[in-house]
Amino acid sequence: MSVSGMSVSGMSVPGMREIAYLTLDVFTSQRFGGNPLAVVPDARGLDTAAMQIIAREFNYSETTFVLPPRDGANTAEVRIFTPRAELPFAGHPNVGTGYAVAAMGSLFGRAAGEVLRFEEKAGLVAVRVRREAGHVAGAELTAPVGLTRGRTLAPDAAAACLGLAASEIVTASHQPEVDSVGLPFLCVELAGRDGLTKAAPRAGLFARDLLPIGTDAIMLYVHDRERGPGALRARMFSPLHGIVEEPATGSAGAALAALLADLEPAREGQWRYPIIQGEEMGRPSLLEATVQKRNGAVAETRIGGACAPVMRGTLTLDI
């Protein structure tokens, strides 16, 4: 198997095994922006413990491991790991893995199509390839499940988790609320960019206040009306997963976009939300979310963006 000219050499050293990997930056067209992702495009032979150790070694917010699909009608099984745990679904790993598979051109002896179907713990995730001038430029995922609106958290408690004053939390449209289209986040609106800049997570309060309501992460945002209709600026904190902050979070952006569309009074329509994230980390990212409503409910949530390849190499493992 080859990955853009990179080959898996197998048993090249007695007692050792080499496995190809690649890294890319997701939700950006510029290297060293966006959210880094490591992809192991042929993870056959790796068990769960090995995948977790490898993810810890990369120490990116997520690493993906690609396996043959259980159902031949699908493209692959994709497993997603943070440095501490496996996730049922995540956004930038799907966009980045979709980009990587499309750039490879084939996977497990089959040509990669324009719509990839990934089997994941949360369900089947469809990823559509984006091309520019005939070249793979990025990808867009469709969330595997519909919007779930969960429990709320008092504004003063949400503010404390972020090191902010309660007055900086906006509740005119919604309370701080757990929302999910595959992975749950507490969505919190702030009054202005000053609060967005100042926010600093307090892990102890995340454990005390967020875990009991069904999440361990906060997606905080402000409306960026100067940029245009629907534009948002956001940050995402998940210190209990070993991710103090992530520069681009597709699953959180999708959940937030689905919530905002659900709050719209119109029962039918399509809404677009460009989301700027990562600027406070020096890794600017652009996530493009689209939500479709039918009969008064969110029917489909998509989120996508560009990708930039960064590294290729091999993992050396003891057999």
The rounded distance, in Å, linking the Cα atoms of 297 and 149 is 12
Long-range interactions of 107-112: CB distance < 8 A, separation 24+ = 107/41, 107/66, 107/75, 107/76, 108/1, 108/42, 108/68, 108/76, 110/75, 112/75
CA dihedral for 121, 55, 106, 69, sign (positive or negative): negative
* Beta-strand relationship, 63-67 and 35-40: parallel
The rounded distance, in Å, linking the Cα atoms of 306 and 54 is 25
Q: State the amino acid at position 31 in one-letter form.
A: R
Active site residue 140: no
The rounded distance, in Å, linking the Cα atoms of 240 and 204 is 9
The rounded distance, in Å, linking the Cα atoms of 36 and 190 is 27
The count of residues in the chain is 319
The rounded distance, in Å, linking the Cα atoms of 56 and 72 is 31
The catalytic residue among 62, 120, 140, 168 is 62
Quick one: which of 1, 13, 60, 7 has its CA closest to 36?
A: 60
At 211 the three-state DSSP class reads helix
The rounded distance, in Å, linking the Cα atoms of 1 and 104 is 10
User: Which tokens in the block code for residue 277?
Assistant: 């994230």
Per-residue DSSP letter, 10: B
Which residues fall within 8 angstroms of residue 212, CB to CB, at 6 or more apart?
none
The rounded distance, in Å, linking the Cα atoms of 41 and 128 is 18
User: Which tokens in the block code for residue 181?
Assistant: 């289209």
Residues with a catalytic annotation lie at: 62
